[in-house]
């Protein structure tokens, strides 16, 4: 199963953009790239997903490298509520039930 590599932690200032990187050099052609985040003492929540093209939604943007071996989650203006652990996950389109979360990036947002 393809795995992802993320920095253990990152820090940002409130109202500034945040770029959270993820490496997935063994990604296969059928793997979707998903991002979830987990606020303290809560279950994870969906943020965004993509396959090849960059994606935007109300929460964030996802930039995918042309060779798909890396991606970046972009929070355009970090708020204190965005302090969480962010997980980059590969999901096989042919085996959609299996998620591998990894240990994620803990984002700290400073006021």
Partner 1 sequence: NAGVTQTPKFQVLKTGQSMTLQCAQDMNHNSMYWYRQDPGMGLRLIYYSASEGTTDKGEVPNGYNVSRLNKREFSLRLESAAPSQTSVYFCASSEAPGTSYYEQYFGPGTRLTVT
Which residues contribute to the site for partner 1 (CB under 8 A)?
A: 32, 34, 36, 41-46, 49, 87, 91, 96-104
CB of 20 to partner 1, least distance (A): 15
Alpha carbon distance 34, 80 (integer Å)? 23
Nearer to partner 1, 44 or 109 (CB): 44
CB of 105 to partner 1, least distance (A): 11
Nearer to partner 1, 53 or 97 (CB): 97
Alpha carbon distance 21, 56 (integer Å)? 16
Tokens 């943020």, located at residue = 47
Quick count: other Cβ atoms within 10 Å of Cβ 66? Answer: 7
Do 81 and 67 contact (CB within 8 A), yes or no? Answer: no
CB of 66 to partner 1, least distance (A): 22
In three-state secondary structure terms, 81 is helix
Nearer to partner 1, 3 or 69 (CB): 3
Nearer to partner 1, 15 or 45 (CB): 45
């Amino acid at each position: 199963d393809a795995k992802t590599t993320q920095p253990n932690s990152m820090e940002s200032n409130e109202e500034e953009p945040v770029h959270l990187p993820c490496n997935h050099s063994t990604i296969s052609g059928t793997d979707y790239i998903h991002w979830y985040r987990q606020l303290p003492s809560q279950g994870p929540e969906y943020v965004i997903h993509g396959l090849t093209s960059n994606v935007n939604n109300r929460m964030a943007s996802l930039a995918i490298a042309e060779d798909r071996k890396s991606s970046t989650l972009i929070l355009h203006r970090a708020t204190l509520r965005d302090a969480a652990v962010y997980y980059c996950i590969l999901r096989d389109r042919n085996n959609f039930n299996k998620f591998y979360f990894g240990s994620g990036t803990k984002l700290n947002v400073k006021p």
